[in-house]
Amino acid sequence: MTQDDPTQNKHRSGAPWRNFYGRLKGKGLRDSQQEYLDKDLAALSPGAVDWDDNPDRTPLNLNALFDGKPVWLETGFGGGEHMVHQAATNPEVGIIGCEPYINGVAMLLGKIRKAGCENIAVHPGDVRDLFDVLPEHSIDKAFLLYPDPWPKKRHHRRRFVTPEYLNPFHRVLKPGAEFRVATDIPDYVRQTLEEVPRAGFEWLDERPSDWRDPWDDWISTRYEQKALREGRIPHYLTFRRL
């Protein structure tokens, strides 16, 4: 290890050095949103995820968390519309949502209160830290919906569909698990179709409707509505973990 190799440096907690480029907080939160964060967020934790809380990277006990239910994962849940919809529609599963943008987390918490869902856990941070402590082959289904496109070519390495994310992601999914990707960015589609199969997934594509039409249980998100208003075409890609 050399001093000028940041990828090999570690924090005092033992955490690897991971650059994070997305937004953590936007405009000021409303009083009600701050209340959600203060009163509800801690109780929805999936367990010790952050390195300061879990330096030994002890795996989460998902069986205890969700009473042995199948576990789904949504990474980057935005305002939480889709995740709450899935949780309310599928009470027989547990859903973990991961989102570092605290304004989105606050929006989700308000929706959880309104819907009364009790099968959701929330990690308000970097999904790579969550991957560290998810047990191997523990996730039955996963969603990546309208992720940050990082449109500039030099920023494509920041996208989720890169080995840095996909390799640990593959480890935590069960063989045969379904992985859904929705995006309105053509180049994100290109990179997804190149990188996800390389990481050990099969694209379930038999006819054009398989990527043109949304899933039967889909609920359109505010990000999708913005894309449609601006004339961009959504793509719905379904993969199976090999």
Residue indicated by tokens 């449109």: 151
Q: Is 38 assigned a ligand-binding role in the annotation?
A: no
Q: Is 74 assigned a ligand-binding role in the annotation?
A: yes
Question: Rounded to an integer, what distance in angstroms lies between the CA atom of residue 185 and that of residue 156?
Answer: 12
Pick from 230, 156, 144, 141: nearest CA to 190: 156
- pLDDT for residue 29: 83
Question: Rounded to an integer, what distance in angstroms lies between the CA atom of residue 145 and that of residue 82?
Answer: 9
Residue pLDDT, tens place only, 138-147: 999 999 999 9
Pick from 171, 174, 176, 178: nearest CA to 141: 178
pLDDT profile of the chain (242 residues), mean per 10: 42 61 62 92 97 96 98 95 98 97 93 96 96 98 94 90 97 98 97 98 96 97 94 97 98
Question: Rounded to an integer, what distance in angstroms lies between the CA atom of residue 173 and that of residue 167?
Answer: 10
Any idea which residues carry the catalytic annotation?
A: 148
Question: Rounded to an integer, what distance in angstroms lies between the CA atom of residue 168 and that of residue 175?
Answer: 14
- pLDDT for residue 6: 41
Domain boundaries, the chain: 62-241
Question: Rounded to an integer, what distance in angstroms lies between the CA atom of residue 141 and that of residue 132?
Answer: 18
Fold of 62-241: Rossmann fold (3.40.50)
Helix (H) or strand (E) holding 95: strand 94-98
CB atoms within 10 A of CB 154: 7
Q: Is 148 assigned a ligand-binding role in the annotation?
A: yes
pTM > 0.85:
yes
- pLDDT for residue 150: 81
Q: Is 224 assigned a ligand-binding role in the annotation?
A: yes
